[in-house]
Structure 1
Amino acid sequence: MSKFHLGLIINPLAGLGGPAGLKGSDGIAEQALALGVQPKAAQRTRIALEQLLAVRERLEFLTLPGVMGAELLAEMGFAHRTLGELGAGPSSAADTRRAVELLQDAGVALILFAGGDGTARDVCAAVREGQPVLGIPAGVKIQSGVYAISPRAAGELTRRLVEGGLVRLASGEVRDLDEAALREGRVAARWYGELCVPEEGGYLQQVKQGGMESEELVLSDLAAWLEDSWEADVRYIFGPGSTLHGLAQNLGLETTLLGVDVIENGRVIARDVHEAQLFELVREHPARLLVTAIGGQGHILGRGNQQISPRVLRAVGLDQLRVVATKRKLGTLQGRPLLVDTGEVQLDDAFPDAVRVWAGYREELLYPLSR
């Protein structure tokens, strides 16, 4: 039986800026590593590839040397061929673009790439029209509609393709934020092009919808409810986003729009924390976690808030998680479930099938959750 040929590109630096609270990974790898952040792109790619182990004998991967693919494929026992060479230093955008060119020349059926929006831009810059690609989410900023909703979903969708299932092809937008502006609290996004991506069921994430999704009156009501129910000496973690930033403003608190902040006894005790700082604040202290959903996409964890890591979630407790989202924001999902992608499959599976959403004054909704 002839082999099914897949391409694989791993951006080993993707996602480093998330746990460090740096709003992205472009040009700050050394800074993130100095804070003790460990690379996770290979781990997230492993989750995707685990879904392909059942069809391993039917596959041959084409990939780049070392940490850009060959190392992980060898560890997992996948047949693979290595193309090209890497320099002595860290991988670069040029390496990704060159990898796309080599994989296309080799005639792979699908290129899997692990990274974030910066990686998608590099793929878009080199890909030829009609070449199918699929992103394994491993970055900080994942606005683009070319990524699966989770690493596991990327693997499941690829397996369906390998097994001969009918998989539609569609155009997915590549979008990216200006990270320098993001670190200054300004959101500046632009469109970079479109990629040909496999699309089936609920495997592919939607493009993030920008703009203010929350109504002022609802946020005022939510603030009044929260103010009535503050628990003394409990630390409230406010995740990033305009909904929670607006909620804090209604409470008279100065939080960061795109960072993670901690509030105790009605005042901000830590602003724009990175993962290690957050863990120290909650590991032996009662805490509550407030997050919001990305409008039009549905992720509540794993997109732009990687400071809220698996160990932070375990320290706080999944039962102490609350989603804050107006009905208007939930309406942008058009019936799709909320999503979690913590980076650990076992932890994702521990979440309930539906979560409680604060949508107004003393108004809680039960909304479906998927992984």
Structure 2
Amino acid sequence: MRRLRYAMVGGGRDAFIGAVHRRAMALDGQMELVAGALSSDPEKARASGRDLGLADARNHGRWQDLLDDELKRSADERIDFISIVTPNHMHYPVALAFAQAGINVVCDKPLVHTSTQAEDLAHAVQRTGAVFAVTYNYTGYPMVRQARHMVQSGQLGEIRKVIVEYNQGWLATKLEGGDNKQADWRTDPSRSGIAGAIGDIGSHAENLVATITGLEIEAICADLTTFVPGRKLDDDGNLLLRYTNGARGVLIASQIEIGGENDLRIRIFGTQGSLAWHQEDPNRLLHASLTDSPRILTRGSGGLCPAAVKATRLPAGHPEAFHEAFANVYLGAGEAMRARSEDRALGALEGDYPTLADGARGVRFIELTVESAKSEAKWTPWS
């Protein structure tokens, strides 16, 4: 089985997430970086490519040049997919151009700035058949997939309530405008979009609930706040959610909670039991039953569902975490790409990754949350 060839847009020198993506793709030895346009600054882009050993002919200063060059290459040399790890405002033009060219896309979240842009991507993918994945990486944790299985198989009964929190404190002071590149673009509406914390990490929280429970939002009651003076976007969000099955939800996404690092956690309560998972302790899943004693399920132990087993690389007691979760998203997307190239259907455990539809739903969630926060009405219906 040959390695899938990929190019990257963004993720060059001084970038954090690009290196995470590359390490994740390298874990299973199935993907190979062969081309790139690694920065919006052409000189920095080419210098970053040289750092990673890219051949001069495939080391580009602009993403448009990268696409033009790939389309000139033969099928046995052209990239299999593009990985987009730029600030949010560049997701749409890059993803649309490659999808329209029929090249598979893996794009960081949130997907794009508007639902209209998401619809454009959907039309392009429908026309060309390109695989399109969105890197909601927390869906790649084995115990998240175990939680999804337990909910889907009815072990919790009917879901009544979900509480999801993403607590960070790194933006408790005004870091933007200085040397912190991450703070600078994430708090800039022209690059980040209409939302701050709710777009950056609240979208992860929404996706985690949807992935595990399958619940669909009926209405949102949102309170978004900008606590740090001079900041242009929200840095704290508190939401009440109503789901179409009658369940209720609470979602917190904050980047001003001092002491919070990457504190993503979810609790799910049904008529027959509950589950609790914490991203900072990702190899454990707490399960409480209406009739039996509470138990702790651990990654790599016996009795887990096939999807959780497949997502596990090391024996129990050897911690797996952030990079491996990213790798599982890429693994599922890669399986879909291979199936596409071989003109075959996916196998039973293949193609487990967040799709364009997940990304589009996340964009709509951000839009409606901002709308709700500005409205005097108590509830903003999902539409």
Give the shorter-chain TM-score range. Answer: 0.3 to 0.5
Q: Greater relative contact order (Cα 8 A, min sep 6): structure 1 or 2? A: 2
The structure whose residues are more often helix, as a share, is 2
Using structure 1 for the length normalisation, give the TM-score.
0.35
